[in-house]
Every structure is written in structure tokens, then in C-alpha cells.
DNA sequence: GTTGAAATCGTTTGGAC
DNA sequence: GTCCAAACGATTTCAAC
């Protein structure tokens, strides 16, 4: 993936902030014509710099009020490490990060209740043959803030 | 925030998957008329169930290839805990979670380089008077997957 | 909830500079 | 890159059921 220059950065930042912004507004904001902005957005999408658009969701309101981080490491460190593929089918897992440190992966999960968290942890352990260490999120002061525009 | 019933859940899930889906397509997908779907989406936005729309960004491509989790706890546990407000001005911090466990908060940060991470950690420590424990993300098998539709 | 119509706005393409 | 024009589709509101 090649780098992205200043104007494209501004476009990406604007669309990360408001993914439904019209090309007219976007053009004004970055100081280009509608045609030029349109062309750039299409290229950013094709290159995968923008991989899609999504609604920002209030998880409490949709019945998933419990968020947690689940750090996992293999029960047997010699076994093949294919945890992500083994866990991808669990929809409660929103994100999966491979990390440096004592743990192998950190998962971000969203569930309805402690009971569902318990069930999910069991599924994670058996699906990927791992041990888990769970950190429950109590509140979220802020989340998914758009990336800053870096004008180097 | 009140709960959301089945059809609204389907709408939210669809828009989390594709935030730019047209009302025509959305109506087909959830089995309603365009008018009805439009009305529901407007209500979901007003109620804050959908808090906005954002582009899904490839952070490597926009010059932020280094992601890390930063767990923080106060240097002096007796001091007032206002870390989120003290940290909100740092644009590198994408998310801030208040957590149960030994740490007080877990931050998700995105930076350009190890040098920038070092600088950011110093800023976090001095801004909020906290100690930090950082876990570097090596790769991201998946991230920001849309929530599942739960048909209870 | 539904359909249908109407006005408006945004998207998208293409041509010319 | 710009501007302009044209065709098309989507949004939005409204009335009527």
C-alpha cells in the first residue's frame, strides 16, 4: 500500500469524521472541485485506503452493553497459531489484534450480559485451544475518533 | 437509551456493514418500504442509536502504521481521576476505555513510528500524571466488524 | 405501516480547457 | 487540476390509504 499525500489525507480524515458527507461539502472542505474530489475518493476506495463505510453504533442501545478485552495465549505454545481463523466465526468478536508481549492476541468483544461473556469465553477457549485473560470495560469516555490530518 | 427491536436491529446491522447503502437497498434488505425505512433511520439517528457515519480507514495507507494499546494507572492513586479529559486533546488516541482490573484505562493509539509512540507516551504520562504499560500491535487479522443481528 | 408523486439534491460521466 | 452540462438516481417531504 503506497503512501498518501496531503490532500488525500484531508479527504480521508473528513470521510472518517462524516462518511456520508456529500462531494460538494467535501470539495469545499479540501479546496478542490467536485469532479476532482470525486475522482480522488474513487481512487482511495479502489486502492483500499478507504475500505468501506459504516454507521457508528451505540452498542448499549442495540443490546450489547458489555464490552471486554480478551487477551489470549495458546494452551500449548508449540501448536500452530491459527487463532484468528478459528475465532472469526464468532460474531461477538469485533476485532482481533496480534500483539507483542506475553499475550498472542487481544480481542475486543461485545456481548449482552455477563452470562453471554462467560459462554463466549468458553467458546474462545475451546475453538482456539487458548487460555484467556479478560478485562471488562466499565465505560467508554471516547471511541473510534477519526484520525488526525498530518501535514508533515 | 431505550432498547431497539428486531427490525431496527437489522437496519443498524446493515448500516454498520455499509453506511452508504441507499434507502432503496436497505428497504429491500429489511423488508419495508423506502418511506418506512427512511423514517426509522431518522429516528435511530435522533435517538443516538446511530451516532454518525465514518469511512473505514486503512491506517497503514494514511501513514499511521503503528497501533498500540496503552494501559494507564495513576502515578498517585489518591489524585482525582480525570485522565480522559486530560488526554482527549491528543489526536493519536483513537479510543479510551475505563476498565476493571489493575489498570484504570486502556487507550488505543495510532502513530507513524516508534519515535512518535515514545513522544506520545511521554505526553500521556505528563498530561494525566499516570504510568503506562504499552502493548504494540503487530498485525490486525480483523477489526471493526459490524455487530451481529440478534433475533432473541 | 403502505403506495405514489413531486421537488430537490447528489452522483456520475463525459467533454473541453 | 478546472469548469460546464446532462442524465440518472437518491433523498426528502407530502398526501392519501
Residue A151 — pLDDT band, cuts 50, 70, 90? very low
List b or e across A29-49, with b for residues whose CB sees 16 or more CB atoms inside 10 angstroms.
bbebeeeebeebbeebeeeeb
The per-residue pLDDT for range A22-48, each reduced to its tens digit, is 999 999 999 999 999 999 999 999 999
Please answer yes or no on whether B112 and A150 come within 8 Å at the CB atom: yes
**Whole-number percent of chain A with pLDDT over 70:** 95
- Rounded to the nearest 10 degrees, the angle between the axes of helix A23-30 and helix A34-47 is 100
The per-residue pLDDT for range B76-97, each reduced to its tens digit, is 988 889 999 999 999 999 999 9
- Dist CA A69 CA A103 (whole Å): 12
The full DSSP string for B120-140 is HHHHHHHHHTEEEEEEEEEEE
Chain A residues inside the 8 Å CB shell of B17 = 54
Does B36 contact strand C, using a CB cutoff of 7 Å? yes
Under a CB-based contact definition with an 8 Å cutoff, are residues A134 and A70 in contact? yes
Please answer yes or no on whether A138 and B100 come within 8 Å at the CB atom: yes
The per-residue pLDDT for range A42-96, each reduced to its tens digit, is 999 999 999 999 999 999 999 999 999 999 999 998 888 999 999 999 999 999 9
463505510: which residue's cell? A53
Cβ–Cβ contact A140 with B under 8 A: yes
- Dist CA B26 CA A45 (whole Å): 21
The per-residue pLDDT for range B1-46, each reduced to its tens digit, is 455 688 999 999 999 999 999 999 999 999 999 999 999 999 999 9
Q: Which of A8, A46, A54 to probe by mutation at the B interface, max B CB count within 10 Å?
A: A54
Distance A135 CA to D16 C1' (A): 56
- Dist CA B42 CA A76 (whole Å): 50
| pTM beyond 0.85, yes or no | yes
The sign one gets for the Cα dihedral B107, B110, B115, B116 is negative
| C-alpha angle B106-B111-B116 in degrees, rounded to nearest 5 | 105
List A67's β-bridge partners, or say none.
Answer: A110
Distance B32 CA to C6 C1' (A): 22
- Dist CA B135 CA B125 (whole Å): 16
pLDDT in the model for residue B151: 47
Q: Is A28 helix (H, G, I), strand (E, B) or coil?
A: helix
pLDDT in the model for residue A152: 54
CB atoms within 10 A of CB B45: 15
Nearest alpha carbon to residue B15 among A103, A55, A121: A55
Amino acid at each position: 500500500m503506497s503512501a498518501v499525500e496531503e490532500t488525500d489525507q484531508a479527504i480521508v480524515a473528513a470521510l472518517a469524521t462524516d462518511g456520508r458527507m456529500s462531494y460538494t461539502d467535501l470539495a469545499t472542505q479540501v479546496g478542490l472541485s467536485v469532479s476532482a474530489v470525486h475522482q480522488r475518493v474513487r481512487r482511495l476506495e479502489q486502492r483500499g485506503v478507504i475500505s468501506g463505510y459504516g454507521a457508528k453504533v451505540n452498542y448499549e442501545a442495540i443490546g450489547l452493553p458489555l464490552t471486554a478485552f480478551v487477551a489470549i495465549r495458546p494452551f500449548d505454545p508449540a501448536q500452530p497459531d491459527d487463532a484468528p481463523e478459528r475465532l472469526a466465526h464468532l460474531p461477538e468478536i469485533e476485532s482481533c489484534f496480534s500483539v507483542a508481549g506475553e499475550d498472542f492476541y487481544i480481542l475486543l468483544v461485545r456481548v449482552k450480559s455477563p452470562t453471554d461473556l462467560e459462554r463466549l469465553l468458553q467458546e474462545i477457549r475451546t475453538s482456539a485451544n487458548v487460555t484467556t485473560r479478560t478485562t471488562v470495560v466499565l465505560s467508554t469516555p471516547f471511541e473510534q475518533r477519526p484520525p488526525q490530518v498530518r501535514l508533515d
